[in-house]
């Protein structure tokens, strides 16, 4: 194909919201050291209504209504324990309809590979003050978060700096795996609108061994080691009603696995594709 034909197809796919080019920032860029998963039981109100209120909180970077153990599942990013205290004592109690809350703290993300995502809420939090960023880094990231196609020349003109400065700053941030440019596909447009959440309890001396094995299984897009009621959380895409069976069978057969709970998304209320854990070879 010619370059112009490829460019034309890319423009059409972007116009139809099938694909999107974004700048993804690592959690470190927005100064969030504390990550945890949140499972909610809802009473006296619809799960959709509760999830929509949850999605308004800036600390929530993904939120789904679910079929399974919980009515609502969310992934939360906070700066520190003080912010967690405010989240637990002020933010969560302000949401009506929440009857029970279950936390699991993220110990380590072993895999974070989402190139197919729901195109929903996209407001990325601006980078906060951090030892790894200065004001110029912040300004460059903020502009590319709005438009990932913005040229180095345009950014340099807006900030009254040289194009070479922009280029060197972006190279340093990419080399440090703090940012990454990536193309995302719209899950709803390509028939992959559901995800499954699998929470696993494992013998404590085999947690990392099991988690490492799970990263190799088909459909396991995200593998997280947890501290809490469960030891591992696996998130992935459903291609059909039987798609996860082979991977689930493999998990049940792994030495050390004690119990597995599965649930599936009903509706993606919020997914911030501009924030992720940037890992080698994964996004």
The answer to whether residue 32 scores a pLDDT higher than 50 is: yes
The answer to whether residue 195 scores a pLDDT higher than 90 is: no
The answer to whether residue 213 scores a pLDDT higher than 90 is: yes
Q: What DSSP line would sit under the chain, residue for residue? A: --HHHHHHHHHHHHHTTSEEEEEEEETTTTT--EEEEEEEEE-SS-HHHHHHHHHTSTTEEEEEEEESS-SEEEEEEESSHHHHHHIIIIIGGGSTTEEEEEEEEEEEEEEE--SEE---B--PPPPPPBTTB-HHHHHHHHHHHH-TT--HHHHHHHHTS-HHHHHHHHHHHHHTTSEEEEEEEETTTTT---EEEEEEEE-GGGHHHHHHHHTTSTTEEEEEEEEES-SEEEEEE-SSTTTTHHHHHHHHTSTTEEEEEEEEEEEEEEE-TTEE--BTTB-
Residues 111 and 130 in one domain: no
Residues 216 and 151 in one domain: no
Residues 243 and 178 in one domain: no
242 in any annotated domain: yes
87 in any annotated domain: yes
196 in any annotated domain: yes
Residues 134 and 231 in one domain: no
CATH number for the domain including 168? 1.10.10.10
Residues 108 and 198 in one domain: yes
CATH number for the domain including 195? 3.30.70.3460
* Residue 92 domain boundaries: 34-121+186-276
Residues 206 and 110 in one domain: yes
Residues 179 and 190 in one domain: no
Q: What percent of the chain has pLDDT over 90?
A: 58
**Domain termination residue (choose one: 149, 170, 185):** 185
Mean pLDDT for the stretch of residues 128-136: 75
The answer to whether residue 277 scores a pLDDT higher than 60 is: yes
Return the pLDDT at 8.
92
Q: Which two tokens mark 70? A: 């919980």
Average per-residue pLDDT for the chain: 88
Return the pLDDT at 238.
53
Residues 224 and 266 in one domain: yes
108 in any annotated domain: yes
Mean pLDDT for the stretch of residues 259-283: 85
The β-bridge partners of 232 are 200, 225
1 in any annotated domain: no
Q: Which two tokens mark 51? A: 């999830």
117 in any annotated domain: yes
5 in any annotated domain: no
**Domain termination residue (choose one: 142, 168, 185):** 185
Sign of the C-alpha dihedral computed for residues 216, 217, 222 and 227 taken in this order: negative
pLDDT band at 125 (very low <50, low <70, confident <90, very high): low
**Domain termination residue (choose one: 136, 162, 185):** 185
Orientation angle between helical segments 135-146 and 152-159, nearest 10 degrees: 130
Return the pLDDT at 115.
82
State the Cα–Cα distance between residues 88 and 94, nearest whole angstrom: 10
Residues 109 and 44 in one domain: yes
Q: Which of 62, 55, 53 is nearest to 35 (CA)?
A: 62
Domains contained in the chain, number? 2
Residues 247 and 132 in one domain: no
Q: pTM for this one?
A: 0.85
Residue 181 and residue 21 in contact, taking contact as beta carbons nearer than 8 Å: yes
Residues 34-79 pLDDT 10s: 999 999 999 999 999 999 999 999 899 899 999 999 999 999 999 8
7 in any annotated domain: no
Return the pLDDT at 62.
92
Residues 39 and 164 in one domain: no
């Amino acid at each position: 194909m010619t370059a112009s034909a490829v460019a034309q197809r890319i423009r059409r796919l972007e116009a139809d919201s099938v694909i999107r080019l974004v700048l993804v920032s690592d959690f470190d860029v927005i100064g969030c050291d504390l990550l945890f998963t949140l499972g909610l039981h809802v009473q006296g109100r619809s799960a959709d209504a509760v999830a929509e209120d949850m999605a308004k909180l800036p600390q929530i970077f993904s939120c789904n209504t679910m079929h399974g153990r919980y009515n609502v599942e969310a992934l939360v990013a906070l700066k520190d324990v003080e912010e967690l205290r405010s989240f637990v004592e002020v933010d969560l109690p302000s949401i009506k309809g929440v009857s029970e809350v279950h936390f699991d703290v993220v110990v380590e993300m072993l895999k974070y590979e989402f190139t197919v995502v729901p195109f929903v809420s996209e407001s990325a939090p601006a980078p906060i003050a951090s030892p790894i960023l200065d004001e110029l880094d912040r300004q460059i990231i903020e502009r590319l978060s709005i438009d990932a196609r913005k040229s180095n020349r345009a950014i340099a003109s807006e900030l009254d700096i040289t194009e070479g400065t922009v280029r060197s700053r972006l190279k340093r941030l990419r080399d440090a795996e703090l940012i990454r440019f990536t193309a995302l596909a719209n899950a709803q447009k390509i028939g992959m609108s559901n995800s499954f959440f699998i929470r696993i309890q494992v013998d404590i001396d085999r947690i990392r061994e099991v988690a490492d094995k799970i990263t190799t299984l088909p459909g396991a897009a995200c593998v997280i080691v947890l501290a809490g009621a469960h030891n591992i959380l696996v998130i992935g895409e459903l291609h059909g009603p039987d798609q996860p069976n082979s991977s689930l069978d493999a998990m049940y057969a792994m030495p050390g696995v004690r119990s597995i709970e599965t649930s599936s998304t009903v509706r993606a209320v919020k997914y911030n594709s501009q924030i992720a854990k940037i890992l080698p070879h994964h996004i």
